Amino acid sequence: MFNKVLIANRGEIAVRIVRACHELGVRAVVAYSEADKYSLAVRLADEAVCIGPAASARSYLNPSALISAALMTGCEAIHPGYGFLSENPYFAEICAEYKLKFIGPDANAIRMMGDKALGRKTMRDAGVPTVPGSRGELRTLEEAVETAHQIGYPVLLKPSGGGGGRGMRVAQNEADLIKAYPTSKAEAEAAFGNSALLMEKYLPQVRHVEIQVLADQYGHAIHLGERDCSSQRRHQKIVEEAPSPAVNPDLRARMGEAALKGVRAINYVNAGTMEFLLDPDGNFYFIEMNTRIQVEHPVTEMVTGIDLVKWQLRIAAGEPLTIRQSDVVMRGHAIEARINAEDPDRDFMPSGGEIEYYLPPGGPGVRVDSHLYAGYSPPGYYDSLLAKLIVWGADRNEALARLERALREFVITGIYTTIPFTLAMLEDPPFREGRISTRYVPDLVQRIK
């Protein structure tokens, strides 16, 4: 195992990684921007290094500052968390050049899966079902029109190098497509510096179901079942659960096997997530692979009892994955609610300020992953995630009841949070009954306005 690891991230995930390091006897060095001087991760770390100003481009996205921090403090590895440089193949390469172990897959896997057109092609060639769509990138508007004609409307334009749901557009017909094509292209260029688009058939009634995988460098790979992330606002997940109310053991085994086929096809190493869309008839289609730890990883940890972040560290350190597929058993039900610094009554406008009181919930089956404390002012430069409340129950009903009571116990004052919105969702029959699609949250937002 490593002696010392640099954490190239902030917020709750930096805290999560510090905790994993400490449980493994690894010293944790936190890289922080000037805006994060008073962060909880800095307080919990064994050492902390300031890597630059608040703006991410000059700190958390600055490879040379991070590499210097790691070398200066004698770290052997860098954990990138999620977001920032976690899916940047160049960063993984630079780490390797400086003999720093990047805690994640190799640069090649990151590059392949970061390019959605290439990722789709690679997975389709490996025998993983993908959404019907363009062969690769769309080169011209004519090709887009031709492809849409073949697969049938509605269609979805997607930035090939994108993420976070940006630049995606649905076209219901040819006129829509002719209008949407240049707009999507321009948005993709502005957001990702890459205007390449691909096209998929737009599937109207689907759930987002993703499979967690773990793979070591000796060719052993397992899947840890699914997470259902169908409740999304602007393609951003809000509530995630495991298992999915729409997946039975047979479907889980088939989706898991498809995910592992993909993993083997690219010799993937470390933790990763294969994302699928699941239609009401039980057909599933690969959409993308995330080559990092995900925000919603705790629900998988709660139902399997397997610590994903510790396994990321062990696998990166060269240890074999000692868990066999038959050892993975999903027990009970877990649900995560993301609590964001946003005001749900004012169109989820970002909210700032000092946290006056902070009292997280407790009791049976409750876990809170957060970087908050009373007196802390979350800096406005980064994402709005304040806390993740994760509950476990013997079954889905117990988990729902626990989530509700824990949300009601949660005290965060001085700042607006999305807790009231999640409580409203919990009372809403479609969500309670587990029969929602990815279009559910926008509909709920309209209904409770």
Q: Which of 33, 134, 232, 291 binds ligand ADP (CB under 6 A)?
A: 232
CB contact at 8 A, 27 and 4: yes
Contact between 268 and ligand ADP by CB under 6 A: the answer reads no
Burial status of residue 174 (CB atoms within 10 A of its CB: 0-12, 13-18, 19 or more): middle
**Minimum distance from CB of 345 to ligand ADP (Å)?**
25
What does the alpha-carbon distance between residue 357 and residue 92 come to, in Å, rounded to a whole number? 40
* Least distance CB 37 / ligand ADP (angstroms): 31
292 flagged as catalytic: yes
Q: What are phi and psi of 35, to 5 degrees?
A: -75, -15
Question: Given the rule CB under 6 A, which of 102-110, 197-205, 253-261, 293-301 is the region that contacts ligand ADP?
Answer: 197-205
| Residue 131 CB, nearest approach to ligand ADP (Å) | 4
Nearest to ligand ADP of 195, 232 (CB atom)? 232
Closest contact distance (angstroms) between CB of 45 and ligand ADP is: 30
DSSP string, 396-426: HHHHHHHHHHHHHH-EE-SS--SHHHHHHHH
275 in contact with ligand ADP (CB under 6 A): yes
- Dihedrals phi, psi of 27, to nearest 5 degrees: -80, 135
**Smallest distance, Å, CB 145 to ligand ADP?**
18
Which is nearer to ligand ADP, 132 or 379 (by Cβ)?
A: 132
The C-alpha torsion from 340 through 331 and 261 to 16, rounded to 10°, is: 40
Of 133 and 344, which has the nearer Cβ to ligand ADP? 133
Read off the tokens for 44.
């919990």
> Count of CB atoms within 10 A of residue 448's CB?
13
**Is 156 a residue that touches ligand ADP (CB under 6 A)?**
yes
Please report whether residue 209 would count as binding ligand ADP according to CB under 6 A. Answer: no
Q: Beta partners for 7? A: 30, 79
Please give the biggest Cα pair distance in the chain: 60
Residue from 5, 86, 438, 440 in contact with ligand ADP (CB under 6 A): 438
- Count interface residues toward ligand ADP (CB under 6 A): 18
Q: Give 364: exposed, middle or buried? Use CB within 10 Å, 0-12, 13-18, 19+.
A: exposed
In degrees and rounded to multiples of 5, residue 325 shows phi and psi of -55, -40
**What whole-number distance in Å separates Cα of residue 67 and Cα of residue 81?**
15
How far apart are CB 274 and ligand ADP at their closest, in Å?
Answer: 11
Binding to ligand ADP, residues 353-412 (CB under 6 A): none
Q: Which residue has the tokens 């860098």?
A: 78
The smaller minimum CB distance to ligand ADP, of residues 116 and 396, is found at: 116
Single-letter amino acid code for the residue at 393: G
**What part of residues 159-178 is at the interface with ligand ADP (CB under 6 A)?**
162-165
Residue with tokens 């933790």: 271
Instruction: Tell me the C-alpha distance between 215 and 289, whole Å.
Output: 14
Contact range with ligand ADP by CB under 6 A, out of 198-206, 211-219, 239-247, 391-399:
198-206
For the window 237-256, what string marks contact with ligand ADP as x by the rule CB under 6 A? --------------------
Nearer to ligand ADP, 2 or 202 (CB): 202
Question: Which residue, 277 or 391, has its beta carbon nearer to ligand ADP?
Answer: 277
DSSP string, 337-395: EEEESEEGGGTTEE-------EE---STTEEEEE---TT----TTS--EEEEEEEEESS
Q: Which among 292, 314, 367, 402 is annotated as catalytic?
A: 292
| Tokens at 398, concatenated | 């117990």
Residues 100-139 within binding reach of ligand ADP (CB under 6 A): 131
Nearer to ligand ADP, 65 or 258 (CB): 258
In degrees and rounded to multiples of 5, residue 81 shows phi and psi of 65, -140
Judged by CB under 6 A, the residue of 36, 200, 240, 369 near ligand ADP is 200
Asked if 425 interacts with ligand ADP (CB under 6 A), we say: no
Contact footprint for ligand ADP (CB under 6 A) = 131, 156, 162-165, 200, 202-203, 206, 208, 232, 235, 275, 277, 287-288, 438
Question: Which residues belong to the active site?
Answer: 292
